Amino acid sequence: RPFLGKLVAKQALLGTPGCGCQPLTLAVRNISFSPRQVTSDASFHSVSFSETDHPKVLITGGLGQLGVGLAKLLRKRFGKNNVILSDIRKPPSNVFHSGPFIYSDILDYKNLREIVVNNRITWLVHYSALLSAVGEANVALARSVNITGLHNILDIAAEHGLRLFVPSTIGAFGPTSPRNPTPDLCVQRPRTIYGVSKVHAELMGEYYHHRYGLDFRCLRYPGIISADSMPGGGTTDYAVQIFHDAIKSGKFECNLKHDTRLPMMYIDDCLRATLEVMEAPTDTLTMRTYNINAMSFTPEELAQELQKQMPLEVTYDVDHVRQAIADSWPMNFDDSNARKDWGWKHDYDLPELVQTMLNYFGTDTRMARAN
């Protein structure tokens, strides 16, 4: 592929007094058509391991709602030591002892590169982000982590020939997008820093794919519901919290209106979709960013499904920031391209989701409350 790495690196060095990394990095960054710090033998193949080998995976932001579950799934498939979890937080001891964990701040480009090189990483799953509600509460940090951090990830992935997965979200759409259903390709004018940063990620990833041959893969996730991990500050968090509060007290105060319809998915479907799209043969992918969908419900419908199993009293105290976000997001997601191209199929609809969540928390707790 036409890549001007050698030339760029040389130009950067010529303009560099001495041999420090910082001036080199800055000089390369000023050349707009190339990722920084390009070496002459950098390869830009979509997969840099032989087809019979397992990939060597790095997951960034791995201690959030989704990362630990993904590591578990990938380790089952590729072997414990072939999947490295990373984050800037201290891992709980069960996570620390379940497989390789490493500190990695995605804002530290040199540290990221060192991890990728020293561990011969071939797949990068980039989960670090600030979600929609916390992003609105700290726009500067969200911009830095979600946008500057992504730039580091893209450059590292392009320079080292990695296959890169970056999740996007229903939050990448806005009030002027068609909401019911929302197709893959339509107007995207989100009104949150989270949404803006995710549209940026989609477009930058696709640009690097077309410009440099980066093997970029992206799924737009719905709100994800999990039993053994808590959400990190999003608009769809209520759909996890309701289970915890129902089991603890039989009462739940919802911060969205009763009729707010949003696309949702059980975590097992989300993680399986991620593995499937990462393993999909390149020629099946007609796009690089796909919607994926499973179900769509309102707080009232979720509560009614739970009430079939246990007593639950629901009240509403609307959080206006979250409500405004939810009102601008898709109500239903059209994922027909994912189903057609690489065979996406969800397993969990609303009744299975509720049953599985309750099973996780234990029948005993439920029966005790009912009596």
Ligand X SMILES: CC(=O)[C@H](N)C(=O)O
Q: What is the CA radius of gyration of the chain?
A: 21
Contact flag: residue 263 with ligand NAI (CB under 6 A): no
> Which residues in 339-371 are b (16+ Cβ under 10 Å) and which e?
eebbebebebebeebbebbbeebeeeebeeeee
- 170 CB neighbour count, 10 Å cutoff: 31
Report which residue type is found at 95.
Answer: V
Which position among 103, 109, 127, 194 bears the catalytic label? 194
Contact flag: residue 188 with ligand X (CB under 6 A): no
Closest CA to 164 of 251, 289, 269: 289
The residue within the footprint of ligand NAI, chosen from 27, 59, 74, 106 (CB under 6 A), is 106
Look at the block and give the residue holding tokens 């009596």. 371
C-alpha–C-alpha distance, residues 169 and 220, integer Å: 4
Looking only at the bridges linking them, the beta strands covering 57-60 and 313-316 are unpaired
Active site residue 221: no
The interface region with ligand NAI, picked from 84-92, 112-120, 278-286, 307-315 by CB under 6 A, is: 84-92
Q: Among ligand NAI, ligand X, none, what does residue 274 contact (CB within 5–8 Å per kind)? A: none
The residue within the footprint of ligand X, chosen from 182, 197, 236, 260 (CB under 6 A), is 236
Q: Which residues contact 237 (CB under 8 A, 6 or more apart)?
A: 133, 231
C-alpha–C-alpha distance, residues 357 and 9, integer Å: 53
Q: Among ligand X, ligand NAI, none, what does residue 61 contact (CB within 5–8 Å per kind)? A: ligand NAI
DSSP track, 190-224 = -SSHHHHHHHHHHHHHHHHHHHH--EEEEEEE-EE
- Angle made by CA atoms 301, 306, 309, in degrees to the nearest 5: 140
Contact flag: residue 5 with ligand X (CB under 6 A): no
Which letter does DSSP use for residue 146 in this model?
A: I
The interface region with ligand NAI, picked from 11-19, 27-35, 85-93, 310-318 by CB under 6 A, is: 85-93
The residue within the footprint of ligand NAI, chosen from 3, 35, 87, 357 (CB under 6 A), is 87
Closest CA to 81 of 49, 115, 47, 55: 55
Closest CA to 165 of 111, 211, 120, 129: 129
Cβ 143 to ligand X shortest distance, Å: 16
The residue within the footprint of ligand NAI, chosen from 135, 167, 190, 330 (CB under 6 A), is 167
The residue within the footprint of ligand X, chosen from 149, 171, 174, 190 (CB under 6 A), is 171
**Cβ-closest residue to ligand X?**
234
Tokens of 76: 């089952």
The residue within the footprint of ligand NAI, chosen from 5, 35, 55, 67 (CB under 6 A), is 67
Phi, psi of 218 (to 5 degrees): -145, 130
Number of residues forming the site for ligand X (CB under 6 A): 10
Q: Among ligand NAI, ligand X, none, what does residue 235 contact (CB within 5–8 Å per kind)? A: ligand X
Q: Among ligand X, ligand NAI, none, what does residue 132 contact (CB within 5–8 Å per kind)? A: ligand X
Contact flag: residue 107 with ligand NAI (CB under 6 A): yes
Give the residue numbers marked as catalytic: 194
Q: Which residues bind ligand X (CB under 6 A)?
A: 131-132, 169-171, 194, 223, 234-236
Chain positions contacting ligand NAI, by CB under 6 A: 60-61, 63-67, 87-89, 105-107, 127-129, 131, 145, 149, 167, 169, 221, 223-224, 231-232, 234, 236
